[in-house]
Amino acid sequence: MEKILEINQLSKHYGALKAVDNVSFTIEKGHVYGILGPNGSGKSTTLGMVLNVVNPTSGTYTWFEGRANNHDALKKIGAIIERPNFYPSMDAVQNLELVCKIKNISTDRIDEKLALVDLLSRKRSPFKTYSLGMKQRLAIASALLNDPEILILDEPTNGLDPQGIRKIRDIIQHIASLGTTILLASHLLDEVEKVCSHVIVLQKGHMLYCGPVEEMNKNFGSILIDAKDRAALQTFIKTQEYAGSIKELTDGYEVKLLKDVDTSRINQDAFDHGVVLSRLMHKKQSLEDQFIELTKN
Protein backbone atom coordinates (compact mmCIF):
# COMPACT_ATOMS: atom_id res chain seq x y z
CA MET A 1 0.00 0.00 0.00
CA GLU A 2 1.37 3.42 -0.98
CA LYS A 3 2.29 5.60 1.97
CA ILE A 4 1.01 9.18 1.81
CA LEU A 5 2.49 10.39 5.11
CA GLU A 6 4.91 8.87 7.60
CA ILE A 7 5.34 10.49 11.02
CA ASN A 8 8.21 9.36 13.25
CA GLN A 9 8.57 10.39 16.92
CA LEU A 10 7.13 13.85 16.23
CA SER A 11 7.06 16.23 19.20
CA LYS A 12 6.14 19.84 19.90
CA HIS A 13 6.92 21.35 23.31
CA TYR A 14 6.03 24.81 24.53
CA GLY A 15 8.34 25.11 27.50
CA ALA A 16 7.21 22.49 30.01
CA LEU A 17 4.00 21.83 28.06
CA LYS A 18 4.28 18.82 25.76
CA ALA A 19 1.54 19.55 23.22
CA VAL A 20 2.63 16.55 21.12
CA ASP A 21 5.00 13.95 22.53
CA ASN A 22 6.75 11.31 20.38
CA VAL A 23 3.83 10.58 18.04
CA SER A 24 4.36 8.09 15.19
CA PHE A 25 1.87 6.84 12.60
CA THR A 26 1.48 6.21 8.87
CA ILE A 27 -1.27 7.36 6.50
CA GLU A 28 -1.82 4.96 3.61
CA LYS A 29 -3.46 5.83 0.32
CA GLY A 30 -7.20 5.33 -0.09
CA HIS A 31 -8.33 5.39 3.54
CA VAL A 32 -10.16 7.89 5.74
CA TYR A 33 -8.21 8.56 8.93
CA GLY A 34 -9.51 10.33 12.01
CA ILE A 35 -7.30 11.93 14.66
CA LEU A 36 -9.53 11.60 17.70
CA GLY A 37 -9.12 13.30 21.04
CA PRO A 38 -10.57 15.98 23.32
CA ASN A 39 -9.66 19.65 22.91
CA GLY A 40 -6.02 20.13 23.88
CA SER A 41 -4.97 16.59 22.97
CA GLY A 42 -2.56 17.73 20.23
CA LYS A 43 -4.66 17.14 17.10
CA SER A 44 -4.34 20.60 15.55
CA THR A 45 -0.68 20.89 16.53
CA THR A 46 0.09 17.60 14.79
CA LEU A 47 -1.64 18.77 11.61
CA GLY A 48 0.13 22.12 11.84
CA MET A 49 3.53 20.43 11.95
CA VAL A 50 2.98 18.20 8.92
CA LEU A 51 1.61 21.20 6.98
CA ASN A 52 4.75 23.18 7.76
CA VAL A 53 3.00 25.92 9.75
CA VAL A 54 4.26 24.76 13.17
CA ASN A 55 7.93 23.94 13.73
CA PRO A 56 8.45 20.54 15.43
CA THR A 57 10.62 20.36 18.53
CA SER A 58 11.88 16.96 17.43
CA GLY A 59 11.01 14.05 15.16
CA THR A 60 10.44 13.81 11.43
CA TYR A 61 7.69 13.40 8.87
CA THR A 62 7.84 12.35 5.21
CA TRP A 63 5.29 13.02 2.48
CA PHE A 64 4.72 10.64 -0.43
CA GLU A 65 7.55 8.28 0.52
CA GLY A 66 10.13 11.05 0.07
CA ARG A 67 9.49 11.49 -3.65
CA ALA A 68 8.85 15.23 -3.18
CA ASN A 69 10.29 17.88 -0.88
CA ASN A 70 7.97 19.68 1.51
CA HIS A 71 7.33 22.57 -0.89
CA ASP A 72 6.32 20.29 -3.77
CA ALA A 73 4.42 17.93 -1.45
CA LEU A 74 2.18 20.77 -0.27
CA LYS A 75 0.98 21.19 -3.86
CA LYS A 76 -0.53 17.69 -3.64
CA ILE A 77 -2.35 18.46 -0.38
CA GLY A 78 -5.68 20.14 0.22
CA ALA A 79 -6.15 21.42 3.77
CA ILE A 80 -8.59 23.34 5.94
CA ILE A 81 -7.13 23.96 9.39
CA GLU A 82 -8.81 27.28 10.19
CA ARG A 83 -12.27 28.80 9.92
CA PRO A 84 -13.20 29.48 6.25
CA ASN A 85 -12.04 32.97 5.27
CA PHE A 86 -13.33 34.40 1.99
CA TYR A 87 -14.26 37.88 0.80
CA PRO A 88 -17.82 38.55 2.06
CA SER A 89 -19.09 40.55 -0.93
CA MET A 90 -17.65 38.22 -3.58
CA ASP A 91 -19.60 35.19 -4.74
CA ALA A 92 -18.36 31.60 -4.66
CA VAL A 93 -16.96 31.65 -8.19
CA GLN A 94 -15.09 34.91 -7.64
CA ASN A 95 -13.61 33.67 -4.38
CA LEU A 96 -12.49 30.39 -5.94
CA GLU A 97 -11.05 32.19 -8.95
CA LEU A 98 -8.91 34.18 -6.54
CA VAL A 99 -7.78 30.95 -4.85
CA CYS A 100 -6.83 29.54 -8.26
CA LYS A 101 -4.81 32.67 -9.02
CA ILE A 102 -2.96 32.44 -5.70
CA LYS A 103 -2.24 28.73 -6.23
CA ASN A 104 -1.43 29.28 -9.91
CA ILE A 105 -3.88 26.62 -11.07
CA SER A 106 -6.60 26.51 -13.73
CA THR A 107 -10.12 27.80 -13.05
CA ASP A 108 -11.65 25.16 -15.34
CA ARG A 109 -12.86 22.91 -12.52
CA ILE A 110 -14.54 25.46 -10.29
CA ASP A 111 -18.07 24.40 -11.29
CA GLU A 112 -17.14 20.74 -10.84
CA LYS A 113 -15.93 21.33 -7.28
CA LEU A 114 -18.96 23.47 -6.42
CA ALA A 115 -21.22 20.68 -7.67
CA LEU A 116 -19.28 18.19 -5.53
CA VAL A 117 -20.09 20.17 -2.37
CA ASP A 118 -23.66 20.95 -3.51
CA LEU A 119 -23.14 24.69 -3.98
CA LEU A 120 -23.48 25.01 -7.76
CA SER A 121 -26.94 26.55 -7.49
CA ARG A 122 -25.55 29.23 -5.14
CA LYS A 123 -22.34 29.93 -7.03
CA ARG A 124 -23.32 33.56 -7.73
CA SER A 125 -24.51 34.31 -4.20
CA PRO A 126 -22.26 36.55 -2.06
CA PHE A 127 -20.28 34.65 0.55
CA LYS A 128 -21.84 36.76 3.32
CA THR A 129 -25.25 35.22 2.53
CA TYR A 130 -23.99 31.68 3.18
CA SER A 131 -24.85 29.66 6.28
CA LEU A 132 -21.99 28.29 8.40
CA GLY A 133 -22.39 24.89 6.76
CA MET A 134 -22.28 26.39 3.26
CA LYS A 135 -19.13 28.34 4.18
CA GLN A 136 -17.49 25.13 5.33
CA ARG A 137 -18.50 23.37 2.10
CA LEU A 138 -17.05 26.22 0.03
CA ALA A 139 -13.80 25.82 1.97
CA ILE A 140 -13.76 22.12 1.06
CA ALA A 141 -14.34 23.02 -2.61
CA SER A 142 -11.42 25.45 -2.34
CA ALA A 143 -9.15 22.74 -0.91
CA LEU A 144 -10.09 20.40 -3.77
CA LEU A 145 -9.29 22.81 -6.62
CA ASN A 146 -5.81 21.34 -7.11
CA ASP A 147 -7.15 17.74 -7.10
CA PRO A 148 -5.09 16.83 -4.01
CA GLU A 149 -3.98 13.30 -3.22
CA ILE A 150 -4.92 13.89 0.42
CA LEU A 151 -7.50 16.18 1.99
CA ILE A 152 -6.81 17.36 5.56
CA LEU A 153 -9.67 18.73 7.66
CA ASP A 154 -9.48 20.09 11.20
CA GLU A 155 -12.82 19.77 13.02
CA PRO A 156 -14.85 19.99 9.76
CA THR A 157 -18.26 19.91 11.48
CA ASN A 158 -17.45 22.18 14.41
CA GLY A 159 -20.38 24.49 15.22
CA LEU A 160 -22.74 23.02 12.63
CA ASP A 161 -26.33 21.93 13.25
CA PRO A 162 -27.29 18.24 12.75
CA GLN A 163 -28.32 18.84 9.13
CA GLY A 164 -25.05 20.60 8.36
CA ILE A 165 -23.05 17.83 10.05
CA ARG A 166 -24.84 15.19 7.98
CA LYS A 167 -24.13 17.14 4.77
CA ILE A 168 -20.40 17.41 5.51
CA ARG A 169 -20.24 13.70 6.37
CA ASP A 170 -21.90 12.74 3.09
CA ILE A 171 -19.47 14.95 1.15
CA ILE A 172 -16.43 13.47 2.93
CA GLN A 173 -17.62 9.94 2.19
CA HIS A 174 -18.23 10.83 -1.45
CA ILE A 175 -14.78 12.41 -1.82
CA ALA A 176 -13.23 9.29 -0.28
CA SER A 177 -15.16 7.07 -2.70
CA LEU A 178 -13.48 8.95 -5.56
CA GLY A 179 -10.07 7.79 -4.29
CA THR A 180 -8.88 10.79 -2.25
CA THR A 181 -7.17 9.95 1.03
CA ILE A 182 -8.64 11.93 3.93
CA LEU A 183 -7.20 12.88 7.31
CA LEU A 184 -9.54 14.68 9.67
CA ALA A 185 -9.19 15.78 13.27
CA SER A 186 -12.22 15.62 15.52
CA HIS A 187 -13.27 15.40 19.15
CA LEU A 188 -16.61 13.84 18.10
CA LEU A 189 -16.70 10.07 18.49
CA ASP A 190 -19.83 9.76 16.38
CA GLU A 191 -18.20 11.63 13.49
CA VAL A 192 -15.15 9.36 13.46
CA GLU A 193 -17.22 6.19 13.78
CA LYS A 194 -19.46 7.08 10.84
CA VAL A 195 -16.84 8.49 8.47
CA CYS A 196 -13.41 6.98 9.21
CA SER A 197 -11.91 3.59 8.43
CA HIS A 198 -8.89 4.19 10.68
CA VAL A 199 -8.36 6.20 13.85
CA ILE A 200 -5.44 7.74 15.75
CA VAL A 201 -6.31 8.43 19.38
CA LEU A 202 -4.45 11.25 21.15
CA GLN A 203 -4.65 12.26 24.77
CA LYS A 204 -2.56 15.10 26.24
CA GLY A 205 -0.11 14.83 23.35
CA HIS A 206 0.37 11.07 23.62
CA MET A 207 -0.82 8.57 21.04
CA LEU A 208 -2.87 5.77 22.63
CA TYR A 209 -3.93 3.88 19.52
CA CYS A 210 -3.53 3.80 15.74
CA GLY A 211 -5.37 1.34 13.53
CA PRO A 212 -8.75 0.32 12.11
CA VAL A 213 -11.75 1.78 13.91
CA GLU A 214 -13.32 -1.63 14.55
CA GLU A 215 -10.13 -2.92 16.17
CA MET A 216 -9.53 0.05 18.48
CA ASN A 217 -10.27 -2.04 21.50
CA LYS A 218 -10.56 -5.70 20.64
CA ASN A 219 -13.47 -7.12 22.56
CA PHE A 220 -16.48 -9.35 22.11
CA GLY A 221 -19.13 -6.96 23.37
CA SER A 222 -21.79 -8.15 25.78
CA ILE A 223 -25.15 -9.89 25.92
CA LEU A 224 -28.40 -8.62 27.37
CA ILE A 225 -30.10 -11.59 28.98
CA ASP A 226 -33.12 -12.28 31.21
CA ALA A 227 -35.32 -15.12 32.47
CA LYS A 228 -38.30 -15.48 34.78
CA ASP A 229 -36.15 -17.39 37.28
CA ARG A 230 -33.32 -14.88 37.74
CA ALA A 231 -31.65 -16.82 40.55
CA ALA A 232 -31.27 -19.83 38.26
CA LEU A 233 -30.12 -17.54 35.45
CA GLN A 234 -27.37 -16.05 37.62
CA THR A 235 -26.18 -19.50 38.66
CA PHE A 236 -26.10 -20.57 35.00
CA ILE A 237 -24.22 -17.49 33.80
CA LYS A 238 -21.53 -17.78 36.46
CA THR A 239 -20.61 -21.27 35.22
CA GLN A 240 -20.07 -20.18 31.60
CA GLU A 241 -16.49 -19.67 30.40
CA TYR A 242 -17.48 -16.84 28.05
CA ALA A 243 -19.08 -14.78 30.84
CA GLY A 244 -17.16 -11.89 32.38
CA SER A 245 -18.58 -9.19 34.61
CA ILE A 246 -22.34 -9.20 35.24
CA LYS A 247 -24.32 -5.98 35.59
CA GLU A 248 -27.91 -6.08 36.87
CA LEU A 249 -30.43 -4.04 34.86
CA THR A 250 -34.12 -3.35 35.40
CA ASP A 251 -34.93 -5.79 32.61
CA GLY A 252 -32.30 -8.46 33.19
CA TYR A 253 -28.52 -8.55 33.11
CA GLU A 254 -25.72 -7.30 30.90
CA VAL A 255 -22.91 -9.84 30.70
CA LYS A 256 -19.53 -8.83 29.28
CA LEU A 257 -18.23 -11.50 26.91
CA LEU A 258 -14.70 -12.86 27.26
CA LYS A 259 -14.80 -14.71 23.94
CA ASP A 260 -16.88 -14.95 20.79
CA VAL A 261 -20.03 -17.03 21.30
CA ASP A 262 -23.17 -17.74 19.30
CA THR A 263 -26.39 -16.57 20.97
CA SER A 264 -28.17 -19.70 19.75
CA ARG A 265 -25.66 -21.78 21.70
CA ILE A 266 -26.28 -19.66 24.83
CA ASN A 267 -30.01 -20.19 24.45
CA GLN A 268 -29.64 -23.96 24.05
CA ASP A 269 -27.20 -24.30 26.96
CA ALA A 270 -29.51 -22.30 29.22
CA PHE A 271 -32.44 -24.50 28.25
CA ASP A 272 -30.36 -27.62 28.94
CA HIS A 273 -29.76 -26.22 32.44
CA GLY A 274 -33.47 -25.67 32.99
CA VAL A 275 -33.40 -21.92 32.36
CA VAL A 276 -35.89 -20.57 29.84
CA LEU A 277 -34.67 -17.22 28.51
CA SER A 278 -37.13 -14.40 27.94
CA ARG A 279 -34.50 -12.07 26.52
CA LEU A 280 -31.21 -12.63 24.71
CA MET A 281 -29.47 -10.02 22.57
CA HIS A 282 -25.86 -9.43 21.57
CA LYS A 283 -24.60 -5.87 22.13
CA LYS A 284 -21.53 -4.68 20.26
CA GLN A 285 -19.37 -2.24 22.18
CA SER A 286 -19.71 1.28 20.79
CA LEU A 287 -16.77 3.43 19.82
CA GLU A 288 -17.64 5.66 22.77
CA ASP A 289 -17.33 2.69 25.15
CA GLN A 290 -14.05 1.72 23.50
CA PHE A 291 -12.70 5.26 23.77
CA ILE A 292 -13.58 5.52 27.47
CA GLU A 293 -12.04 2.10 28.08
CA LEU A 294 -8.87 3.18 26.25
CA THR A 295 -8.48 6.57 27.99
CA LYS A 296 -9.79 5.87 31.51
CA ASN A 297 -6.28 5.53 32.92
What does the pLDDT read at residue 217? 56
53 to 12, 71, 78, 90: CA distances (angstroms): 12, 12, 14, 27
Mean pLDDT score, 198-214: 91
Contact 35, 202 (CB under 8 A): yes
272 to 29, 81, 267, 269, 296: CA distances (angstroms): 52, 60, 9, 5, 39
CB burial readout 185-195, b (16+ within 10 A) else e: bbbbbebbbeb
What does the pLDDT read at residue 185? 94
- pLDDT top residue among 92 and 37: 92
Distance, CA of 149 to CA of 67 (rounded, Å): 14
Mean pLDDT of the chain: 91
Q: Indicate whether 240 pLDDT > 90.
A: yes
Q: Indicate whether 215 pLDDT > 80.
A: no
Mean pLDDT score, 64-89: 88
Mean pLDDT score, 199-218: 86
Q: Indicate whether 297 pLDDT > 90.
A: no
- Strand order, beta sheet including 58-63: 17-28, 3-14, 58-63
Q: Indicate whether 167 pLDDT > 70.
A: yes
How does pLDDT run across 120-147, given as a tens digit for each residue? Answer: 999 999 999 999 999 999 999 999 999 9
Q: Indicate whether 83 pLDDT > 90.
A: no
Full set of structural domains in the chain with CATH:
3-215 (3.40.50.300), 222-296 (3.30.70)
In the chain, % of residues over pLDDT 70: 96
Distance, CA of 209 to CA of 215 (rounded, Å): 10
Q: What is the pTM of this model?
A: 0.78
Q: Indicate whether 276 pLDDT > 70.
A: yes
Q: Indicate whether 60 pLDDT > 90.
A: yes
- The CB density around residue 30, as the number of other CB atoms within 10 Å, is 13
